[in-house]
Amino acid sequence: MKSFMKYCVVFCMAFIIAGAAAYFAVSLFTKSAKEIILPKLKGKNIIYVLETLTHLGINPKLRGTRYDEVIPKYGVTFQDPPPGTIIKKGRDVTIYISKGHKETIIPDLRQVPLKQALLILEKKEFKPGTLSHVYSDSTGKGQIIAQYPPAFSKVKSNSLCSFLVSRGPEPMAQVMPDLTGLGLNAGVNLLENRQLQVSQITSRTNPNIDQGLILAQTPEFGKPVFPLTPIQLIANGSREGLELEPKDLKGVILVSYPLGHGILKKHVRVETDMLGFPLDLINDYFNPGKNINLLIPAGIKTIVKVFVDHKLVKTRIIDPWKKDNDTGELSWE
């Protein structure tokens, strides 16, 4: 029995000594392993990265590939641990490499309307570039004549695509009509009927003729003009050097006057001078409480006088040359 106990004690002592020796050996080996600072790998070519990590005693672990708009194909896009980390030899470093930028085949957009082409570009992950316009007899107005990059070429996603857009057939030259002596509305309507546009209207004072009549024009009568030719008109106004937007000649202005309450019908007469002489627009009897509404052309200076039971109750002056400073609407005096 004593002999058996003796052998057990000896065996335990030997086991403890062997375990302690193994622990100190592993600890000594770990402490003696060389530590290194992990370099920056992002952007470097994969061949260079593999050679560098192998030389440092690090194990590269390639986990996959990704598209990258900046880093070229076969360049490292990601590393773990990050650069600057202190690690020991024999450790693993995870890396991803670039597949380069994503490329897409650009569609053929020739003869396609510009609005539709822009929608197709957005769907295909392209961006609109420069737009140029020229006249063309073979391509409809607003359609694409040519594109860059060319159709079916393989280009980087989100690249710019520029277009040459058709204005349609080149218009024929017209002879500038004589507008002097016409009212502004009549002159502008005449130009619009010929597909011509007024670019500027200014005033000049001439007390000998009615206000609103055209005094001068540029280009002059008989000159060749095209749809894009800028046309300037000078009209007779109450003051010198005023400017009038051509759009202010369009449409009508609502003039409204509410009749007061009562029992008997009221006699209403509305007088204007838009044609250069007094003209009754309304001359009739109306029930009390009714609104008297008139539509007055916006482009003609007009004095509106409202008489109720032969008494002047309101005077309104509509002048397209004057605007309210706050609202921009035609002023009423």
Query: Quick check: is 303 in a domain?
Result: yes
**Per-residue tokens: 80:** 């773990």
Same domain assignment for residues 311 and 267: yes
Q: 75, 46 in Cβ contact below 8 A?
A: yes
Query: Quick check: is 17 in a domain?
Result: no
Residue 18 pLDDT greater than 70, yes or no: no
Closest CA to 230 of 187, 196, 193, 192: 196
- Predicted confidence band of residue 31 (pLDDT cuts 50, 70, 90): very low
- Predicted confidence band of residue 5 (pLDDT cuts 50, 70, 90): low
Same domain assignment for residues 324 and 283: yes
Among 6-15, 164-173, 193-202, the range scoring the smallest mean pLDDT is 6-15
Q: Which CATH number belongs to the domain containing residue 279 in this structure?
A: 2.60.40
pLDDT score recorded for residue 9 = 52
Same domain assignment for residues 156 and 114: yes
Q: 252, 277 in Cβ contact below 8 A?
A: no
Same domain assignment for residues 269 and 242: no
Higher pLDDT: 151 or 318? It is 151
Average pLDDT over residues 58-77: 86
pLDDT score recorded for residue 234 = 95
Q: Single out the residue in 150, 166, 182 at which a domain terminates.
A: 166
The domain in which residue 289 lies consists of 251-332
Average pLDDT over residues 9-26: 51
Same domain assignment for residues 86 and 125: no
Query: Quick check: is 161 in a domain?
Result: yes
Same domain assignment for residues 257 and 232: no
The tens digit of pLDDT for each residue in 225-255 reads 988 899 999 999 878 888 888 888 877 888 8
Q: Which CATH number belongs to the domain containing residue 62 in this structure?
A: 3.30.10.20
Same domain assignment for residues 151 and 211: no
Q: 169, 136 in Cβ contact below 8 A?
A: yes
Q: What does residue 238 show for φ and ψ, rounded to 5 degrees?
A: -75, -25
Query: Quick check: is 6 in a domain?
Result: no
Same domain assignment for residues 157 and 187: no
Residue 217 pLDDT greater than 90, yes or no: yes
Query: Quick check: is 324 in a domain?
Result: yes
Q: Single out the residue in 166, 189, 205 at which a domain terminates.
A: 166
The tens digit of pLDDT for each residue in 108-153 reads 999 999 999 999 998 988 999 999 999 999 999 999 999 999 999 8
pLDDT score recorded for residue 253 = 86
* Count of domains forming the chain: 4
Average pLDDT over the chain reads: 84
The tens digit of pLDDT for each residue in 264-313 reads 999 999 999 876 678 888 999 999 999 999 888 887 778 899 999 999 99
Average pLDDT over residues 33-46: 85
- This prediction has a pTM of 0.46
- Please report where in the chains the tokens 């003609």 appear, as a residue: 300
Query: Quick check: is 321 in a domain?
Result: yes
The tens digit of pLDDT for each residue in 172-199 reads 889 999 999 998 888 998 998 998 989 9
Q: How far apart are CA 300 and CA 254, in angstroms?
A: 14
Same domain assignment for residues 42 and 92: yes
Query: Quick check: is 65 in a domain?
Result: yes
Find residue 8's DSSP bridge partners: none
Same domain assignment for residues 90 and 108: no
Q: How far apart are the first and last CA of the chain?
A: 132
Q: Single out the residue in 233, 248, 263 at which a domain terminates.
A: 248
Query: Quick check: is 9 in a domain?
Result: no
